[in-house]
Structure 1
C-alpha cells in the first residue's frame, strides 16, 4: 500500500507542477513577461499561493522551467519525425517542415520574454541537439546520394536552420512549404 500511496502523491505533484507551468506559459503569452505575477499563476492553475511557493520560488524560475519543457517537447517531436519512414531526404524535408512550423508558432512571442528565456545555456544545448539531429539526417542523405556531398554535413545542417529561421515570418503553410522546398533545393543541388 505505501508504494501505491507514494505513486499517487507523485502523480498529483506532477499534475500540479504541469498546471503551474501551463498557467505561467499562457499568462506570459497573453500579458508578456512583466504582466505575470505569482498570484495570477496560482489562480490560473487553481491552487493557493502557498502551494505554488512549495513548487517554485518566483515567476522567472517558472517561466524558465516552462520554456525548457517546451524545448524538450519540440526536440522529441522532431526526433519522432526523423525516425519516421522514407528516404533520408524525405525524412529531412519532414523534419525541416516541422521545425519551420515550430519557428512560425514562436513569432508572436513577446520580445522581452524571448530575450529573457533565450540566453539560457539550456537553450544553447537544445540548439546543438537540433543541429546534431539535422546533421545526422544530412549525413545519411549524403551517403544515400540524396544530398550534395561537397560540403560538410554540419555546415549544411547549420545552413538549414538559419534558412528556416525565416519561417517565423511565413504567413501561412504555403510560405513554409516554399521555404522548405528552397532549402531542400540548396541541399540537393550538385556543384
Structure 2
C-alpha cells in the first residue's frame, strides 16, 4: 500500500492534489499544456501515475481541477482585501493590482493554445471561472455607480472590457518599470469607467 502523506487519508489526498497542481503549473509554463502528458505530471509531482488517475480521469480534468482551486484561492484573497476598503475607487485600484500580481493565467478564458486543445465542454467550464471574477468587478463598479464615484453605464459592456484590458496586458516582473506600468494601468481603467483621477507622471 502506498505511504500516506499527512495525518489522514483526506490530508493525503489534498496534498497529492496540491503536488499535481504545482507540477501542472510548472510544466505548462515550461512546455505548454498540449505538450505534457499525465506521466510527465506524475513524474514532476513525485507520485505514481496511478495516483493521478485516483484524482483525475484525464489531463483536461486535472486542468479544470487546477483552475477551480486557483480561482477559489484568488477570489477569496481578493474578497478579503476588498472587505477592508470602503471607497469603490480604491476597491477598483485593488482589483487592478490583484490582477497584475497574477503570475499564472488560471481564472480567465484560455489563450489561443488552450482553445485548440480543450473540448467545448471544458472551455465552457473554464468560462464559469471567468464569471466568478467578473462578479467581483461588477460589484465594485455597481457600488461606484450607486455612490456617484462612477457615472451610469452598462456594466454588461464595461465589465468584460475592463477584464479584457487587464488579462491582455503584460507587466514587467519587478522594479520601477513594473510599478509604473501598474500605476498607469490603474489610471487607465479608472478613467475608462469614468472616475476622476489624475494622469500618473
- TM-score, with structure 2 as normaliser: 0.74
Quote how far apart the aligned CAs of 1:110 are: 8.0
Shift in CA distance, 110/134, structure 1 to aligned 2, threshold 3 Å: closer
**Which of 131, 146, 149 is the aligned partner of 1:146?**
149
Asked if the contact 1:131–1:154 (Cα under 8 Å) also holds between the matched residues in 2, the reply is no
- Tell me the equivalent position of 2:199: none
Tell me: higher relative CO, structure 1 or 2? Use CA pairs within 8 A at least 6 residues apart: 1
Asked if the contact 1:68–1:122 (Cα under 8 Å) also holds between the matched residues in 2, the reply is no
Q: Distance in 2 between matches of 1:96 and 1:110?
A: 20
- Tell me the equivalent position of 2:186: 180
Quote how far apart the aligned CAs of 1:164 are: 2.3
Quote how far apart the aligned CAs of 1:128 are: 2.1
- Tell me the equivalent position of 1:135: 138
Q: Distance in 1 between matches of 2:89 and 2:166?
A: 16
Shift in CA distance, 101/43, structure 1 to aligned 2, threshold 3 Å: same
- Tell me the equivalent position of 1:3: none
Q: Distance in 1 between matches of 2:131 and 2:34?
A: 29
Task: Give the aligned length.
Answer: 179
How do 1:1-191 and structure 2 match up within 5 A? 8-102=8-102, 105-106=104-105, 111-113=112-114, 115-116=116-117, 120-149=123-152, 151-167=153-169, 169-171=170-172, 172-189=178-195
Q: Deviations over 1:117-157 (max 9, x none)?
A: 595222222222222211111111122221122x2344332
* RMSD (CA atoms): 2.7
Quote how far apart the aligned CAs of 1:181 are: 0.6
Structure 2 portions without partners, runs of 5+:
1-6, 173-177, 197-201
- Tell me the equivalent position of 2:3: none
Q: Distance in 2 between matches of 1:124 and 1:34?
A: 19
Q: Distance in 1 between matches of 2:119 and 2:150?
A: 32
Structure having the higher helix fraction is 1
